[in-house]
Structure 1
Amino acid sequence: MTEPVLSVRGLSVDFTVRGGRKARAVDGVDLDLQPGEVLALAGESGCGKTTLARTLLGLVKPSAGTVSHNGTPLAYNTGALKRYRRAVQLVLQDPTGALNPRHTVYEAVAEGLRIHGMVDNERERVASALSKCGLRPAERFFLTYPHELSGGQRQRVVIAGALVLEPSVIIADEPVASLDASVRGEILSLLLQLRDDFGLAALVVTHDLGLAWSIADRLAVMYLGRIVESGPVEQVLTAPSHPYTRALVSVLPDSPIAAPVVLAGEPPDVTQIPGGCRFHPRCQELASGPAAAAGVDGLCRGTALPVLSPDPATHSVACHLHAARVGQFTQTA
């Protein structure tokens, strides 16, 4: 297996909230992104996936743990961050907000080149990036303003602005959430084409498991700051093993789960993470008896689970009941 292009070990991110309390948005995450791989990071709002993505971009400094690019740990001085952000680029979910309405398409795409001092052959670089993103002939769009473009075209300009720096990783935060259904498929196809043509790796942050099925090679499901299940996307979505993942998958069309699972309550306050399995206050398997029948209900309430292994080939699950059913944990401490 090749060296990961992006790697995370023991990552935690804390924030101080009103009253001086500590909120742990990300709590011990190990993650690897392989060259040319599309990894979807899924979970409901507030689970920590956007904070994790911002930390991977170097926008948030972790409270603990490391982020490494091509095996080199990220340093947080200005020069190191500038070099890193050329290699790891962001694609935002709202192209209208991401583009300056006073800047032409040319200026929007060329901005990154100028920031990073890549001014040689600027015109050719901008034209090439726009063409790769399906805006052809590129010169026709140079003097166009964002309001003159469709939503799909604006998103292509945002992707071109990232691609022009020739990054090795793209982190896309809900890349099609603000687009009409008619153009979502086009943008997803573009991201896959860029992966195939240029070997780009991508981390796609989403709450839409249908999108993950369409685009991702691997899926990681987050709950309350931790990855609770990860593995090849087909395995996770056709045979979900964690009760939380099963609840998410149960409402998909043609779900392998016979009936929709309605979770009780809301995710706990991140300043008061429950002991034991952090999902246990809402777990349908604990509430309805299977955990007690397997003799793990006490573990669910009182014994913390290890951090999942980052092995991309393994279907890993952080669940005491699953561990009892398979006879061992499928994750490492």
Structure 2
Amino acid sequence: MSSDKVLTARGLRVEFGLPGGRVARAVDGVDLDVAPGEIVALAGESGCGKTTLARTLLGLERATGGEVAFGNVPLGRSTKALKAYRRQVQLVLQDPSGALNPRHTVYDAVAEGLRIHGITDDEPGRVAEALSRAGLRPPERFFLAYPHELSGGQRQRVVIAGALVLEPSILVADEPVASLDASVRGEILSLLLRLKEDAGLGALVITHDLGLAWSIADRIAIMYLGRIVEQGPVEQVLTEPRHPYTRALVSVLPDSPVAEPVVLAGELPDASRIPGGCRFRPRCQEVAAGNALKVLDQCEGVDPAVLGPDAEPHLVACHLDRALRDPARMSG
């Protein structure tokens, strides 16, 4: 993977102070890469840290530790550094109605990024090209329209055009189709795929919908309580899920490779009360069923990192998974 335009996170941590001196570890040691020409889905339950991770990758949230970099250049905090970075890494919000100013025309909404970045040459041509790439054709027809005059799908295309006008390498899309009906969802996902194929645009797509991830992503990262617990090629992870949490998520999909739906026990995750050892252990169906007895000391004592052989793209943070792949660990 060429490193000149790759968005990377290494050991990324984000903590928030809470009343009573408590600390919420919303992002707790994440490693992640997104390159132009690939779509990476970031999936997990609500509250697992997906949106905080996305905001930190965009420089909208300050990291407590670790590093965000683009093309091997660490993300700076100065206004100049952030402006240059955001020409390459652009945000697409999930709610187009909230993302668009109702008093701005489509033209002004798309041109806003150009004006912020001081790009003055051929503004009408750049706006028209961005709208056309986003599937709003002929683009001039939409210049003087206001958001309330558009359908939900058209509004989302305007939001995407506002990102495309700066010619970024990576989009960070937070639940980009969550507010749209099923037919329009498919159109927007097809648009993202076309942008990937035709322009080499990459994307990190934040979603709780594994079906969406299956239809659009090249790779998927499963997040639980601030950490990536499994990641790899989307087809491999979703047809051969190895982490108990991933298996639980996959078990409710139509035609799931997991034989029976998995109902997770225990309390919902709380980033201010992360348990010791493996953070998933209190809800783990394998622990509850007694299938992890021979590695339970490790489950209780060590929070596993996402590791795997160098040649293996499918990585899993689970003591039981590693033991099953290395029988000597189970018999010891």
**Fold match (TM-score > 0.5):** yes
Structure 2, unaligned runs of 5 or more? 328-332
2:147 matched residue in structure 1: 146
SS at match of 2:94: coil
Distance 1:306 1:53 in 2: 20
2:163 matched residue in structure 1: 162
Distance 2:152 2:178 in 1: 11
2:330 matched residue in structure 1: none
One-letter amino acid of the structure 2 residue matched with residue 244 of structure 1: Y
- Given that 2:230 and 2:306 are in contact with CA atoms closer than 8 Å, whether structure 1 keeps it comes out as no
One-letter amino acid of the structure 2 residue matched with residue 205 of structure 1: I
SS at match of 1:227: strand
Distance 2:257 2:19 in 1: 43
Q: Please tell me whether residue 65 in structure 1 is matched to residue 59 in structure 2.
A: no
Distance 1:256 1:306 in 2: 25
SS at match of 1:290: coil
SS at match of 2:292: helix
SS at match of 2:36: coil
CA drift of 1:109 comes to 0.2
- Given that 1:89 and 1:162 are in contact with CA atoms closer than 8 Å, whether structure 2 keeps it comes out as yes
Q: Quick one: structure 1 residues 15 and 106, their matched pair in 2 at CA, closer, same or farther if it must change by over 3 Å?
A: same
Equivalence map 1:123-272=2 (5 Å): 123-272=124-273
One-letter amino acid of the structure 2 residue matched with residue 76 of structure 1: R
Q: How many residues align?
A: 326
Alignment RMSD (CA, Å): 1.5
1:140-166 Cα deviation digits (max 9, x unpaired):
000000000000000000000000000
CA drift of 1:61 comes to 1.1
Q: Please tell me whether residue 78 in structure 1 is matched to residue 82 in structure 2.
A: no
CA drift of 1:301 comes to 1.4
One-letter amino acid of the structure 1 residue matched with residue 119 of structure 2: M
SS at match of 1:65: strand
Deviating more after overlay: 87-96 vs 264-273: 264-273
CA drift of 1:319 comes to 0.3
CA drift of 1:215 comes to 0.3
Deviating more after overlay: 12-21 vs 224-233: 12-21
Q: Please tell me whether residue 6 in structure 1 is matched to residue 7 in structure 2.
A: yes
SS at match of 1:296: helix
CA drift of 1:269 comes to 2.3
4+ runs deviating over 4 angstroms: 307-313
Structure 1, unaligned runs of 5 or more? 329-333
CA drift of 1:304 comes to 2.1
1:316 matched residue in structure 2: 315
Deviating more after overlay: 319-328 vs 138-147: 319-328
Q: Quick one: structure 1 residues 324 and 313, their matched pair in 2 at CA, closer, same or farther if it must change by over 3 Å?
A: closer
Q: Quick one: structure 1 residues 116 and 278, their matched pair in 2 at CA, closer, same or farther if it must change by over 3 Å?
A: same
1:299-330 Cα deviation digits (max 9, x unpaired):
111222124479796100000100000119xx
Distance 1:92 1:113 in 2: 18
